Amino acid sequence: MSGTIDIFLSRVAEAAEQSTLVKMTLSKPVDKHDELRNIYVKPVLIKEKRLYAFTYRFERRDEVKNYDIAQMIAALTELVPSRFLNTVLFTVNEDVTLLVSAKGKATFQTKKVQECREQNLEHDKQKVRLINPANPWWYQLGLTTREGKITADMQHKFKQIYKYAEIVESLIKPMKYDGMVHIADMGAGKGYLTFALHELLTQKLHLNVDIKGVEIRPDLVLKINEIIQTSGLKGLEFVESSIEAYHPKELDVLIALHACNTATDDAIAKGIRAGAGLIVCAPCCHKQIRQEMERSGITDAITRYGIFMERQAVMITDTIRALVMEYYGYKTLEMEHTPKNVLLVGRKTDKAPDKLMISKAISDLKRRYGIQNHYLETIL
């Protein structure tokens, strides 16, 4: 087997020396559970020196390392066949494939190509990220190392934050703002999503913002405001207050993610009263409506089962919230936030709502499930 691999490595070295190497791929990990899934190699020109960029593609991240010819051959010697069974060398005029079976038998194949291939020596451009983990506040918030690398135990959390940023960008980008954009993030907690929002809007969308993170716990407010100050961020401040007690003077965007039970309704009501152009909520805990349904004693084929009662209460709670928002002139939609949660989004429109029809729809739902009042109705 070593003889076949040596021949392949010599072909790689020859292609590199003759400047005919276009790209190379390593795939089919020996260990199916290996976090490193594959490797992509291409020539690059850095400071007038030809190197070979190895993109190590892990389950949740990519790492890039640049090698000269000797380092490239040394790296391949360590990786093939100990970690990867399939390696393909693409040159300007042929494909050279090294296949290693599970039993260790190596085979070598070459194939002439008809198309005209050219080398691309441009260094891969860095992807424009919505959120950059190298920014210092992410280290201070405990998500990254000092070097800007996401810590192992925060990989999933950062993925959630990034997903949130993608969704918010899609909602805010189409809207037109003149001057300052006033935003309230209700129940902001540890500030992960609030900082992501500020970074997205100021560094990616280049908006002039005034973001208030509303949080009831004084220790968190103090800690986050210190991070804001040391990071030199403008237009971001945490305010110690409950959602119910907070009264914004101006409000263009209201965000409330996972405000428990009727706190979501308090947040929606604040947005409606302030005439916010955009309301974004990720509702959680739907106790108020479930308790009303249980007290009524009215059940059907679905609600007589406990788990289905809970899910039905979730759907009814958020459906009425959506209808109430439509009553006050918002176009509502639901978007996936996580596999377990949805975002309830309301965008202010100029179209006059059919209040009679909406009121009837709310009344029909309440009557069917024995609901006296939805909290959002009572506070509005």
Residue 115 main-chain phi, psi, to 5 deg? -70, 160
Q: What is the C-alpha to C-alpha distance for residues 190 and 231, in angstroms, rounded to an integer?
A: 16
Query: What average pLDDT does the segment 90-116 reach?
Result: 88
pLDDT, residue 304, reads 67
Claim: this prediction has a pTM higher than 0.85:
no
The answer as to CATH 3.40.50.150 being correct for domain 136-379 is: yes
Strand arrangement of the beta sheet that strand 21-29 belongs to: 62-67, 49-58, 36-46, 21-29, 84-91, 94-100, 106-112
Query: What average pLDDT does the segment 262-269 reach?
Result: 90
Per-residue model confidence as pLDDT tens digits over 211-227 = 999 999 999 999 999 99
| DSSP string computed for 216-232 | S-HHHHHHHHHHHHHHT
Q: What is the C-alpha to C-alpha distance for residues 61 and 144, in angstroms, rounded to an integer?
A: 14
**For the chain, what are the domain ranges?**
2-112, 136-379
Q: What is the C-alpha to C-alpha distance for residues 261 and 287, in angstroms, rounded to an integer?
A: 6
Per-residue model confidence as pLDDT tens digits over 300-311 = 666 666 677 778
pLDDT, residue 124, reads 52
Candidates 306, 296, 309; CA nearest to 368 is: 296
pLDDT, residue 337, reads 58
Per-residue model confidence as pLDDT tens digits over 17-72 = 999 999 999 999 999 889 999 999 999 988 889 999 999 998 778 899 999 999 99
Q: What is the C-alpha to C-alpha distance for residues 264 and 341, in angstroms, rounded to an integer?
A: 14
Q: 115 pLDDT exceeds 80?
A: no
Per-chain mean pLDDT for the chain: 88
| DSSP string computed for 129-158 | -SS-TTSHHHHHTTSB-TTSPBPGGGHHHH
Q: What is the C-alpha to C-alpha distance for residues 268 and 250, in angstroms, rounded to an integer?
A: 15
